[in-house]
Structure 1
Amino acid sequence: MRAIVRSSWFGVAVRVIVGGGILVAVALHVGTGPFLHGLQSIDPPVIGASILLTATATAAAAWRWNVIAGRLGVGMPWPRAVGMYYRSQFINSVLPGGVVGDVHRAVDHGRRAQSLAMAARAVAVERTVGQLVQLVLTVIVLAVAGAGFGGVLLPVAGAGVVLVVAVVAVAALASARVRTVLRREAAAVRLGLGSATVAVRVVGASIVVVACHLATFAIATAAVGASVPPLRMLAIAVVVLLAASIPVNLGGWGPREGAAGWAFAVAGFGTAAGISAATLFGVLAILSLLPGVIAAALASIVHRRSHHGRLPVRDHQLRRLTRRLPRHGTPAEAGALEPGGLRQGR
């Protein structure tokens, strides 16, 4: 257990150091001006549009998760899934690493479903499928719209993908444990998707999620005063979102700002504009989650109170019945109406 805790803390420390280092390096390179400009570009219409897009993306992601969880035998009501997904995204956005919220979501759902292993697997499959769809969309977009960037964006993104695949391949070749984990997770993905129909639904939901995030980044870019043609905006945005998904950051900050500054500079729009857009996008990501998090928390409180308020009445009635039974029936008949018997319909 101590080894696991030390490993967990080591991973957090690495994410904080790397993500914070990137953020500091960017700030040292361009100064604080672009960050402040991004913060000053916030206004109510931008926040409102971001809230609507985030609500759509969260609803689609929660539906994706619920479909996969249902295939694994740990489904849940969709409204509950939406609330839990809002909370996990908010935790991801304020804590280092970008995965703490997903872990919390898996544990919370596992306790409710009384199957922590399947709940964790459902979250892992859901996040894996979402990342794969995002990666494929990034490659497609850069192949179509990346030519206007001097042939730089697609090769760099491709090199990153090749590097990740190479690291996984080397680890698999060097460790039987890694191979076992990869086979198990591949089997879980096949089980979670199950059929072509389910796969189409999950991929469709993932496309909606990515599209909403791309639209939010485009709104942030326009809000900071950068005028970027649609196709170029699309190519830049997929690169920034791909960098933001790297689990080495400070609540999402770090790689996102670095990638945005670089991509805007390569496209000829200036590093400062990219950092301002990424800063505003990061702030909007947090603000747009707050209404959903608050609504989910209030719904949970109301549910607990109403549920708690009904139980004493029912238990009181059952106790009254069990006190009267010995005087009006035989012991066998009384046992048939014990609280456990009533709940089981005997």
Structure 2
Amino acid sequence: MTRGVAISRTFWMWTRLLGGAAILVALVWRQGTGPFLDGLRLTTPAALLAALVVTAATTLCCAWRWSLIAGRLDVGVPVRTAFAAYYRSQLLNATLPAGVLGDVHRGVRHGRETGALGRGLRSVVWDRAAGQAVQAVLALGAVAFLAPALRTPVVLVAVVGLVVLVVAWVVLPRRPRLVLADDVRRLAPLWPRLVLGSAVAAAGHAVVFVVAARTAGVTVPLSQVAPLALVVLLVSAVPVSIAGWGMREGAAAWVFGAVGLGAAQGVTVSVVYGVMALVATLPGAVLPVPRGDGAPAPRLEDAAHG
């Protein structure tokens, strides 16, 4: 790793951490500690059990999606191995500062075990990208059910995100662009299954958020809570947080405040969801991740594609 790359990574890591911390400090300054303490107090064993059950199902969907992608990139991983590895990555994401280190660990570990570090990492990148793309589409579909105060900002964020992706593709050097284009060609036959797995996983995360909202005392109809859940979860995927905390609470405060439910209520719901999500990843601490059952190391003539 060159000195410039190391400095860049360190800069972005601290930017994400400080950004998440700044959001939390701003929320405490504006709302006080009450909403945070209420979230911890209101979380119930029943809610935690629900999160464990639903997260097991969403993790299986995500593991299946990753297994499909890895197989097409010639770094196959069995679903049972992917399931355990996915649980571990979620636990690391929920406990380590940057909120994405679990996925980095998953990609590096799988890449080294299969002898193709580049493709192992890209399998995880495509896995997360597929999930986020479907979640973004679902969130945009929920715009019709949102209050007018939220529709324009959500659409604006979507447009900005699309522009950023286009610009990133244009400025990307030719060789990485060719590699990604080849990946897209390989993965194209999978898109119906990737969409299905991602949609079920996104729905599962939304269900956990709805349970958190009900646990926190939100009584508005499901038709109003579910769209809010999709928007909050999409915004919280932005890696500006401390182990997942920060952006999610800020998004919940904004969304709940905009629809008249109160920013403080949004923070409380987000805290309940955060505790539920953390407990739901604990199986990652005990599930063993099998070694040595991935795809064999690539042939020498394939190395250039890895």
TM-score normalised over the length of structure 2: 0.90
CA distance 1:244–1:186, change in 2 (3 Å):
farther
Residues 12-31 of structure 1: CA deviation (Å, up to 9, x unaligned) = 10001111111111111100
Aligned residues: 291
Q: Which runs of 5+ in 1 are unaligned?
A: 305-346
Could you tell me how far apart the structure 1 residues matched to 2:204 and 2:84 are? Answer: 18
CA distance 1:65–1:218, change in 2 (3 Å):
same
CA distance 1:180–1:163, change in 2 (3 Å):
farther
Alpha-carbon contact 1:257-1:278 (below 8 Å) kept? yes
Question: Aligned residue for 2:68?
Answer: 67
Residues 182-191 or 61-70, more deviating: 182-191
Residues 290-337 of structure 1: CA deviation (Å, up to 9, x unaligned) = 0x213314x65xx89xxxxxxxxxxxxxxxxxxxxxxxxxxxxxxxxx
Which contiguous aligned blocks of 4+ residues in structure 1 show a shift greater than 6 angstroms? none
Question: Aligned residue for 2:285?
Answer: 294
Question: Aligned residue for 1:210?
Answer: 202
Is 1:252 paired with 2:244?
yes
Higher RCO (C-alpha under 8 Å, 6+ residues apart): 2
Alpha-carbon contact 1:71-1:194 (below 8 Å) kept? no
Normalized per residue, which structure has more helix? 1
Question: Aligned residue for 1:90?
Answer: 91
Q: Which runs of 5+ in 2 are unaligned?
A: 293-306
CA distance 1:164–1:182, change in 2 (3 Å):
farther
1:242 to 230, 234, 247: 234
2:184 to 160, 180, 189: 189
Residues 31-40 or 18-27, more deviating: 18-27
- Shift of residue 4 of structure 1? 2.0
Amino acid at match of 1:286: L
Could you tell me how far apart the structure 1 residues matched to 2:162 and 2:176 are? Answer: 15
Amino acid at match of 1:231: S
CA distance 1:279–1:155, change in 2 (3 Å):
same
Percent of paired sites with the same residue: 38
2:163 to 153, 158, 166: 166
- Shift of residue 257 of structure 1? 0.6
Pairing 1:102-251 to 2, within 5 Å after superposition: 102-143=103-144, 145-146=145-146, 149=147, 151-173=148-170, 175=171, 177=173, 181-182=176-177, 184-191=179-186, 193-195=187-189, 198-251=190-243
Residues 70-104 of structure 1: CA deviation (Å, up to 9, x unaligned) = 11111122111101001111111122332211111
- Shift of residue 57 of structure 1? 0.5
CA distance 1:104–1:273, change in 2 (3 Å):
same
Amino acid at match of 2:286: A
Residues 110-119 or 181-190, more deviating: 181-190
TM-score normalised over the length of structure 1: 0.80
Could you tell me how far apart the structure 1 residues matched to 2:24 and 2:196 are? Answer: 34
Bigger Cα Rg: 1
Could you tell me how far apart the structure 2 residues matched to 1:264 and 1:183 are? Answer: 43
Secondary structure of the structure 1 residue equivalent to 2:245 = coil
Secondary structure of the structure 1 residue equivalent to 2:97 = coil
Secondary structure of the structure 2 residue equivalent to 1:152 = helix
CA distance 1:56–1:172, change in 2 (3 Å):
closer
